[in-house]
Amino acid sequence: MTQKTYTLGEIAAALGAELQGDPDVRVEGLATLQAAGPGQLSFLANPAYARYLADTRASAVIVAPAMAEKSATNVLLLDNPYLGYARLSHWFDPAPVAPPGVHPSAVVDPTAVIPDTACVGPQTVIEADVELGDGVVIGAGSVIGARCRIGAGSVLRPRVTLAHDVVMGARCHILSGAVLGSDGFGFANERGVWHRIAQIGRVVLGDDVEVGANTTIDRGALDDTVIGNGVKLDNLIQIAHNVSIGDHTAMAAKVGVAGSTRIGRHCVFGGASGVAGHLEIGDQVQLTGMTLVTGNLSDPGVYSSGTGAESNRQWRKNAVRFRQLDAMARKLKELEKKIEG
């Protein structure tokens, strides 16, 4: 593979950054401040790593203007260094480019619409009436159910499963093991016996949605499960049937959202958070890790639940006190009444 190299002048122009240094210095890769060497570019986004700035061996560093004087090497000035790094990361991505065409081992229904610009990998199954947009990549071993629609430029990594009637916008990115459109957990109970309910809704994704490895998004029971534009879902997330997630919301790994909950735009959910069903979560709500939501949250802001780790001995003492809270509260009320009397 040919090594890609760029001059600092080219990089500065592409990022719209102010360059302080030699525009002819060539960059062939990215690295952290601690690990970078000559020919590599680094960045400073987290102030906790500022102590490495003066001694880094990187050929250049992307920094905010206020940090420029603390660097002993060439600097590219951006108000958001992390965004600059994010954009440059694609320049040096070693992932192979999928060639267009349908692999001979793929099983493709004759009614499927596959443009010449799409790539269908080995041992992929594409069922009836599927439509792929231009430049779509379907990784090896994936299954695309009947009547699915996948927008232009979307990429499905190997072993992705789309059940029937999943609709996906443009430029979506679905990682390996994800399952979209599986049946939601719907059963009716009669005298202790559970009877399965057919899930007849769809899963609908907007544009620029990313779904992590082994994440599952259940189809709607009646209405659709809807994932808005720009939503980012990490690995091992469960989105239940009829959930709606607003544009540009992000969720870290192991979040679970129960059925029919509506989540607003620009929310951020920390890892292992849980949201009960049939709730309304407003815009710009942030949940710290392992937060459990059991009621509606209409106001923007940061919400937390649970307690941090402590020694087992202290935790056991606190657990005993927790069980005594109701009795303590009753005694406190009695004391307040006596004082008022």
Backbone angles phi, psi at 316, to 5 degrees: -65, -40
For the chain, the three-class secondary structure string (H helix, E strand, C coil) is CCCCCEEHHHHHHHHCCEEECCCCCEECEECCCCCCCCCEEEECCCHHHHHHCCCCCCCEEEECHHHHHHCCCEEEECCCHHHHHHHHHCCCCCCCCCCCEECCCCEECCCCECCCCCEECCCCEECCCCEECCCCEECCCCEECCCCEECCCCEECCCCEECCCCEECCCCEECCCCEEEECCCCEEEECCEEEECCCCCCEEECCCCEECCCCEEECCCCCCEEECCCCEECCCCEECCCCEECCCCEECCCCEECCCCEECCCCEECCCCEECCCCEECCCEEECCCCEECCCECCCEEECCCCCCCCHHHHHHHHHHHHCHHHHHHHHHHHHHHHHC
Identify whether the C-beta of residue 226 lies closer than 8 Å to the C-beta of residue 207: no
- pLDDT, tens digit, 9 for 90 and up, residues 186-212: 999 999 999 999 999 999 999 999 999
Q: Write down the pTM of the prediction.
A: 0.91
5-19, 228-242, 316-330 — which is least confidently predicted? 316-330
Query: b/e map of 229-265 (b: 16 or more CB within 10 Å)?
Result: ebbbbbbbbbbbbbbbbbbbbbbbbbbbbbbbbbbbb
Identify any residues that bridge with 238 across adjacent strands, giving them in sequence order.
216, 256
- pLDDT, tens digit, 9 for 90 and up, residues 283-320: 999 999 999 999 999 999 999 998 788 999 999 999 89
Q: Does 76 score more than 90 pLDDT?
A: yes
CA distance 86 to 200: 39
Identify whether the C-beta of residue 276 lies closer than 8 Å to the C-beta of residue 258: yes
Catalytic residue among 164, 195, 241, 266: 241
* 164 carries an active-site annotation: no
Mean model confidence pLDDT for the chain: 96
- pLDDT, tens digit, 9 for 90 and up, residues 161-178: 999 999 999 999 999 999
Backbone angles phi, psi at 338, to 5 degrees: -65, -40
CA distance 11 to 28: 11
CA distance 322 to 311: 16
Helical pair 312-323 and 325-340, crossing angle rounded to 10 deg: 50
CB atoms within 10 A of CB 35: 12
Percent of the chain with pLDDT over 90: 92
Q: Does 3 score more than 80 pLDDT?
A: no
Identify any residues that bridge with 327 across adjacent strands, giving them in sequence order.
none
CA distance 43 to 41: 7
